[in-house]
Structure 1
Amino acid sequence: MVALPANRRRRVRRPSAREAGTALLFVLPFLVLFALFRFGPAIAGVVLGFTDYTIGGDTAFVGLENFRRLVDDPTFWSALRVTVVFTALSVPLSMLASLGMALLTRRAFRGVKLFRSVFFLPVVTSLVLAGVIFTWVFSEGGPWSQAMGALGLPQGSWLADSVLVIPAVVLVSVWSRFGYGMLILLARLQDIPAELEEAALTDGASAWQRFRYVTLPQLRPALFFVAIIETTVAVQVFDMIYVMTSGGPVRASYSLVYLLYDQGFKYFDLGYASAIGVALFVMTIVVALIQRLTLGREEK
């Protein structure tokens, strides 16, 4: 290709200050509404965490009293333990399922689009509907109980067992979420230059070595993104627990968001509920920073 002379190259004109100001005026109403409805409730939630507020009642500033209640509340620590266990189980399993399905469907073969659509279908399925169906699946005498009996394992309802209820909800969570991560990782896999794997294959690298030293480093940014999304969803788990277990049995599946829901919308203690939300937000940020230091760090 022959380069065009400098005087014939297309010049990109930068907008003037007046044009930029006019454009900002058109965008400003949307920005104001976005900031009002996006950040306004978040700021209000933080402020309410330092107050004693109930619907229809007076609002009194109580400082750190709500957070002291959190420290002394055994229900909060029990809900925190449930949330941590659920997150620690669901996030790695969901990421492994997403990565495995993305690797299986990355190559073109007959029916690959159908498989991708089927794997992604649970993501767009109503979680309430899925919760109702899986409540029957895990019930005593349901398909899961019968399958356990066929394998010689103890039968019974996992949702009625304080030890097995979290694994049951985790399985439903992984089923409903792995398709989203699969789509993100699949897009990144298809963007990796084929020459990299071909060069490694020429050098005699095995399939595991190609994955470990060629594919996985290229997937690091996508894996970090999926980890952040899955962690955020996991620590906010509520709908499946509300439909499937209602926090039981004996609060064995009583998560932080369920505690927040009870305090705010059952007992109308919105100040304490807001303090729980602030604690949940801080926990999410800390986990995200840890993931940033592990998955998100730049390769040198």
Structure 2
Amino acid sequence: MRDPVTGLLFVLPMLVLFLIFRIFPSLGAAGMSLTNWNIGGEWEFTGLDNYARMLDDPTFWISLKTTLVYVAVYVPMTVLFSLGTALLLNAVVTMRGLWRGMLFLPYVTSFVLAGVIWRWIYEYNGLINGLLAKLDLGPVMFLERSELVLPALALVSAWKGFGYSMLILLAGLKAIPGSYLEAARVDGASAWQRFRSIVLPLLKPALFFVLVIETISGFQVFDTIYVMTGGGPARASYTLIYAIYDKGFRGFEFGYAAAFGMVLFAIILIVSLIQRRLLGRENT
């Protein structure tokens, strides 16, 4: 028993922090979702009333649809960015550390700063419309058009967050034995055939991890929307996390906001289990 106890002692500080700041608040939110908790700390047990109210609330369905659309745009964009840059870095021979640091730099900047910068880029007199004007193309109001706001926000989040996933995939590429690729090259396999038949299958565990964390990140998007659009225009960027903020910290309906949070938790859990099922249990 000495080895397990020793290991437990080493992880105990982080385990305590995880329980205090993750598990206990999650359990508290689950309990709060069954009450009408208000800002004064007064509450009354209401059972499933908040969930029944949610099903009749158009705001919930709008935020759910917006979140799903955003995730459908953001996740493939980020995974492709990450995989593409990881493949390029893996092929680079000189100054690899410099390029890796430059590509990772956006990840360590704050979402608020990224949102402010990209809001200026998207503005009427911003960088993109300035370039379009030189091409005699009309200005495009990216953040004021309902059909463009979610792809525009997804691009900002992908630019901000792809660096971490890039490093995970780069580590996965480094773990692939070079002898496999060399043997395939000697046998006459093209670059695409080597990628499809060797690299991609061996990269599945890293891809699964990236897919899961980016999916969770997509469902939890808030900072970019808060800074750039405030849920607009006409609630076109009104996601579930923004609805939780709106109901809880603007409407002071903490029990109702917690119910939104529990539904979001259930959706993320189900999506993660589906992803694990599709990619295969052995690759996780």
Q: Return the TM-score normalized by structure 2.
A: 0.93
Tell me, yes or no, if structure 1 residue 130 matches structure 2 residue 117. no
Of 159, 171, 178, the residue aligned with 1:175 is 159
Tell me, yes or no, if structure 1 residue 228 matches structure 2 residue 215. no
| Matching residue's letter, 1:87 | V
Of 168, 182, 197, the residue aligned with 1:198 is 182
SS state of the match for residue 155, structure 1?
A: coil
Equivalence for 2:239: 255
Q: Which protein shows a greater Rg?
A: 1
Query: CA offsets per residue over residues 143-165 of structure 1, 9 Å max, x none?
Result: 11123344454413211111111
Query: CA offsets per residue over residues 106-154 of structure 1, 9 Å max, x none?
Result: 1342222211111100000111011011111101121111233444544
| Matching residue's letter, 1:231 | T
| Matching residue's letter, 2:216 | T
- Cα 1:136–1:32 shift into 2, 3 Å: closer
Of 250, 271, 279, the residue aligned with 1:295 is 279
Equivalence for 2:45: 61
Alpha-carbon separation, structure 2, partners of 1:171 and 1:254: 17
Q: 1:1-300 residue pairs with structure 2 within 5 A?
A: 15=2, 20=5, 31-32=15-16, 34-151=18-135, 153-298=137-282
Query: CA offsets per residue over residues 167-193 of structure 1, 9 Å max, x none?
Result: 110110110111111100001101110
| Matching residue's letter, 2:84 | G
Equivalence for 1:6: none
Bigger mean CA deviation after superposition, 148-157 or 133-142: 148-157
Alpha-carbon separation, structure 1, partners of 2:98 and 2:265: 38
| Matching residue's letter, 1:117 | G
| Matching residue's letter, 2:47 | G
- Cα 1:198–1:281 shift into 2, 3 Å: same
Alpha-carbon separation, structure 2, partners of 1:281 and 1:268: 21
Alpha-carbon separation, structure 1, partners of 2:120 and 2:3: 64
Q: Return the TM-score normalized by structure 1.
A: 0.88
Q: Percent identity?
A: 52
Alpha-carbon separation, structure 1, partners of 2:8 and 2:107: 37
Alpha-carbon separation, structure 1, partners of 2:12 and 2:190: 56
Alpha-carbon separation, structure 1, partners of 2:13 and 2:164: 33
The answer for unaligned runs of 5 or more in structure 2 is none
| Matching residue's letter, 2:219 | V
The answer for unaligned runs of 5 or more in structure 1 is 1-13
SS state of the match for residue 76, structure 1?
A: helix
Alpha-carbon separation, structure 2, partners of 1:105 and 1:24: 38
Alpha-carbon separation, structure 1, partners of 2:9 and 2:282: 39
Q: Contact (CA 8 Å) 1:122, 1:179: kept in 2 or not?
A: yes
Q: How many residues align?
A: 283
Q: Contact (CA 8 Å) 1:141, 1:156: kept in 2 or not?
A: no
| Matching residue's letter, 1:111 | M
Shift of the alpha carbon at 1:30?
A: 6.4
Q: Contact (CA 8 Å) 1:221, 1:296: kept in 2 or not?
A: no
SS state of the match for residue 159, structure 1?
A: coil
Equivalence for 1:4: none
Instruction: Report the RMSD for the aligned CA atoms in angstroms.
Output: 2.1
